[in-house]
């Protein structure tokens, strides 16, 4: 079923009060730059976009023209300064913490039936779905305050040139702007009404517009996929996303590993990055020592490095399911945070 973006419902008095206690929603970001209607290049890009997507050119020009350059978006997309070490412990502490765990247990209890059905139908564990939604938006408490049109136009037309992948990312965000306009036009949604992340991600699961189109599903049976207000649709859509990225039911996400310095060939093990490439026996031969369960694993594996600032890095062995989580966000740190938050919420449920 086609995904239908829906404007978030206004918070009720009681909901607003609860959010203030836990995570006060960020104030809307005021656009700082000029209207894109003043930019000849943006208007030419709007015409080309309209032709590609078979949209009304006047409507596309009007929508793009009302967007504004937002410096906060450009700043947010800029990577940290070169030389700043990654730190798994610091990253983990942002997500594996009491507020998210408590909110996750509440979310799981309220949506147990949908989570169980999604797991039956896709094989994706409830803990992974709960972990994703918790890491992304604290179960809908923080879905972003940037106007989507401002964010996508800023990144499509003014992506920071100093970024090492500026040309590639500019093309990507132009395609997401096209996907967003096509989606909102098809479903009768005002493109200027929706707010989300600085990168243009939407709703509780923070789907990009193209992902909404491809993977969002109507899981509550009301005839539309609503990733702002329907927890069931969010759960079904996240599980459907991983199903489309070949999630394998029953397979662990990762295994522990010990490194044997006497035979360790770390450059070879790290060469494929986190793409599962090695058999269990290959890893053993290259100095990555596995436990009994990992040695019995039949599929390809990858050595995953998690840097700890100035301390020694941590390592795990990732499976194809670990790699599937990184298709949601291309970061092994993200994947581990999703996995461990889900595990901690599951423990809280048992209590």
Range 113-117 average pLDDT = 98
Q: Where are the alpha helices (DSSP H) in the chain?
A: 13-22, 40-53, 57-65, 71-77, 88-95, 98-110, 112-122, 126-137, 148-157, 166-187, 209-215, 231-244, 266-270, 280-285, 292-295, 320-326, 332-350
Q: How many residues can be counted in the chain?
A: 351
Q: Is residue 234 part of a domain?
A: yes
Q: What is the pTM of this model?
A: 0.89
Q: Is residue 129 part of a domain?
A: yes
Q: Which one, of 127, 143, 113, lies nearest residue 219 by Cα?
A: 113
Judged by phi (left if over 0) then psi (alpha if -120 to 50, else beta), residue 179 lies in: alpha
Q: Is residue 253 part of a domain?
A: no
In contact, 212 and 202? CB cutoff 8 Å: yes
pLDDT digits (tens, 9 = 90+) for 273-294: 999 999 999 999 999 999 999 9
Range 203-213 average pLDDT = 98
Range 335-348 average pLDDT = 98
* Residue keyed to tokens 């901690």: 344
3-state secondary structure of 309: coil
CA-to-CA separations, 12 to 6, 8, 19, 104, 262, in angstroms, rounded: 17, 12, 11, 21, 62
Q: Is residue 212 part of a domain?
A: yes
pLDDT at 25: 43
Compute how many other C-beta atoms are within 10 angstroms of the C-beta atom of residue 277.
Answer: 16
pLDDT digits (tens, 9 = 90+) for 139-195: 999 999 999 999 999 999 999 988 888 999 999 999 999 999 999 999 899 999 999
Which residues are identified as catalytic? 136
Question: Cα separation of 262 and 239, whole Å?
Answer: 42
Distance of CA 157 to the CA centre of its chain: 23
pLDDT at 22 over 50: no
| Mean pLDDT of all residues belonging to the chain | 91
* Residue keyed to tokens 């502490």: 93
Q: At CA 24, angle to CA 20 and CA 29, rounded to 5?
A: 140
State the total domains in the chain.
1
Q: Is residue 89 part of a domain?
A: no
Question: Cα separation of 248 and 319, whole Å?
Answer: 10
Question: Cα separation of 290 and 257, whole Å?
Answer: 5
Q: How confident is the model at residue 79 (pLDDT cuts 50, 70, 90)?
A: confident
Containing structural domain, residue 13: 1-24+96-140+202-247+324-351
pLDDT at 162: 83
Strand partners, 146: 196
Tokens standing for 271? 């060469």
Q: Which residues contact 41 (CB under 8 A, 6 or more apart)?
A: 157
3-state secondary structure of 103: helix
Q: Is residue 238 part of a domain?
A: yes
pLDDT digits (tens, 9 = 90+) for 209-245: 999 999 999 999 999 999 999 999 999 999 999 999 9
pLDDT digits (tens, 9 = 90+) for 307-338: 999 999 999 999 999 999 999 999 999 999 99
Tokens standing for 66? 């009302």
Burial readout 201-220 (b: 16 or more C-beta within 10 A, e: otherwise): bbbbbbbbbbbbbebbbbbb
In contact, 136 and 204? CB cutoff 8 Å: yes
Which CATH number goes with the domain that contains 346?
A: 1.10.530.10
Question: Cα separation of 276 and 245, whole Å?
Answer: 14
pLDDT digits (tens, 9 = 90+) for 238-266: 999 999 999 999 999 999 999 999 999 99
Q: Is residue 314 part of a domain?
A: no
């Amino acid at each position: 079923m086609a995904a239908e973006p829906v404007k978030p419902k206004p918070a009720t008095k009681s909901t607003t009060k609860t959010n203030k206690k836990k995570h006060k929603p960020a104030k809307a970001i005021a656009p700082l730059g000029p209207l894109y209607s003043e930019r000849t290049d943006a208007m030419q890009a709007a015409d080309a976009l309209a032709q590609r997507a078979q949209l009304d050119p006047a409507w596309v020009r009007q929508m793009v023209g009302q967007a504004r350059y937002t410096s906060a978006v450009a700043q947010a997309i800029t990577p940290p300064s070169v030389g700043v070490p990654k730190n798994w412990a610091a990253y983990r502490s942002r997500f594996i913490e009491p507020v998210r765990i408590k909110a996750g247990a509440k979310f799981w209890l309220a949506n147990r039936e949908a989570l169980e059905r999604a797991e039956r139908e896709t094989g994706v564990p409830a803990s992974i779905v709960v972990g994703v939604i918790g890491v992304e938006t604290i179960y809908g408490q923080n879905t972003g305050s940037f106007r989507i049109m401002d964010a996508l136009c800023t990144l499509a037309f003014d992506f920071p040139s100093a970024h090492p992948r500026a040309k590639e990312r500019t093309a990507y965000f132009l395609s997401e702007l096209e996907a967003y306009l096509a989606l909102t036009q098809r479903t009768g949604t005002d493109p200027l009404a929706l707010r989300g992340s600085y990168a243009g991600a939407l709703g509780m699961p923070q789907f990009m517009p193209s992902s909404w189109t491809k993977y969002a599903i109507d899981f509550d049976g009301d005839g539309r996929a609503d990733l702002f207000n329907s927890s069931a649709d969010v759960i079904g859509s996240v599980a459907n996303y991983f199903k489309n990225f070949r999630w394998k039911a029953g397979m662990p996400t990762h295994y522990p590993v010990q490194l044997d310095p006497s035979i360790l060939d770390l450059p070879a093990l790290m060469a494929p990055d986190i793409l599962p490439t090695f058999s269990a026996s290959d890893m053993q031969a290259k100095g990555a020592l596995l436990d009994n369960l990992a040695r019995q694993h039949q599929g390809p594996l990858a050595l995953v490095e998690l840097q700890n600032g100035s301390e020694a890095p941590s390592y795990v062995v990732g499976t194809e399911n670990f790699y599937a989580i990184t298709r949601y966000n291309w970061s092994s740190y993200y994947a581990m945070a999703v996995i461990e938050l889900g595990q901690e919420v599951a423990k809280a449920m048992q209590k």
